[in-house]
Amino acid sequence: MPLSIEKNKPEIDITKLRVMVYGPPKVGKSTFATQNERALVIDTDNNGTAFLSCYRVPIFSWNDLKKTLGELKGDDRFDTIVFDTVDMAYQLCRQHVCSTNGVVHESEDKAFGRLWDIVKTEWMKMVSFVQSLNKGMWMISHSIQKEVKIDGVKRAVVTTTLPGSAQRITMALADQIFYMDTNDRGKRQLYMLPPDGVECGGRLAAFGLNKNIEFDTESELYQKITTTLKGQ
C-alpha cells in the first residue's frame, strides 16, 4: 500500500517556535518574551523575572526543572515555555550530570568526553520533551563579543554568553535568533537580519520578518511581529 501523505502547508505561529533572544542586560528581552499572556517562565536567573507580570516558576535545580515540565503535560493554559536564562538552565543540567557522576566538572571524568555526551543527551531529552508538549520554547541569553576564526581570519563576533558546546547545540535548534540592542540612533532595535559581526536570523525572513524592527515598547514590538506573521 502506498504511503498516505499530503504536502505540508507551512503555518507559522510564533508561540510554537524555538526562539533565541539575546542581547545586553536590561534591554528588554524578558519583557518582550512575556508579552505572550500564555507564556510560562522557567526562571533560573535567581528570580530575575519577579518584577514582571507573568506566569513564572523559580527553578534552582535540574530536577525541579524537569518536574515542572512534567507537570505541564496536558496543561493547556500555556502555549510557550520561556527559559530565562537558558544559560543557567544549561548550567543546572551540567551540575546535575556532574554531581550524579561524582565530579565537579566534565573534564574530571576518566573516560574523556563521556560526561560531555551525557550532558548533551540530557539537555536534548529536555528539549524533545518540550516539543512533545506542542509548546514553543523561547530562550533568553545575554550577549558577549568573542574572537573567532573565519576562513583563517580572526574576527570579533557578537553572540550569546552560552559556553561553546551549549551554544552550538542551542543556536542550531533555534528556528529564529533575535538580537536586541540599542542602535546608533539611541533607539532599541530587534535585529533579524545579521549585521556584520552579529549572530542572528532564521526561518522567519521567508514569512515577512525580513527587516530589523526599531521599537519604543516591548508590547509594540511583539504586536508588530505577530501581526506580520498572521498576515502571511
C-alpha cell at 217: 515598547
- Is 81 in a helix, a strand, or coil? strand
- Radius of gyration, CA atoms only, the chain: 19
- Tell me, yes or no, whether 162 lies in a domain: yes
User: Does 197 score more than 90 pLDDT?
Assistant: no
What percent of the chain clears pLDDT 90, i.e. is strictly above it? 56
Q: Quick one: pLDDT at residue 171?
A: 87
Residue 143, burial from CB neighbour count under 10 angstroms (0-12, 13-18, 19+): buried
| C-alpha–C-alpha distance, residues 198 and 195, integer Å | 6
Of all residues in the chain, what percent carry a pLDDT higher than 70?
97
Whether 26 is covered by a domain: the verdict is: yes
Give mean pLDDT, residues 142-166: 82
Q: Residue 221: which of 45, 34, 53, 11 has the closest Cα? A: 34
CATH of the domain at 140: 3.40.50
Over residues 91-112, the mean pLDDT reads: 87
In a domain, residue 136? The reply is yes
Over residues 84-91, mean pLDDT: 95
**pLDDT band at 150, cuts 50/70/90?**
low
Of 11-25, 140-154, 175-189, 201-215, which gets the smallest average pLDDT?
140-154
Q: pLDDT value at position 194?
A: 75
Quick check: is 169 in a domain? yes
| Dist CA 14 CA 137 (whole Å) | 10
For residue 6, tell me if it sits in a domain. Answer: no
Mean pLDDT of the chain: 89
- Model confidence, pTM: 0.89
Mean pLDDT of 34-63: 93
Domain count, the chain: 1
**Which range is least confidently modeled, 2-6, 35-39, 53-57, 72-76?**
2-6
In a domain, 54, yes or no: yes
Domain presence at residue 176:
yes
The range of the structural domain enclosing residue 28 comes to 14-230
> Is 159 part of any domain?
yes
Asked whether residue 44 carries a pLDDT value surpassing 60, the answer given is yes
- 82 in helix, strand or coil? strand
Distance CA 146, CA 124 (A): 25
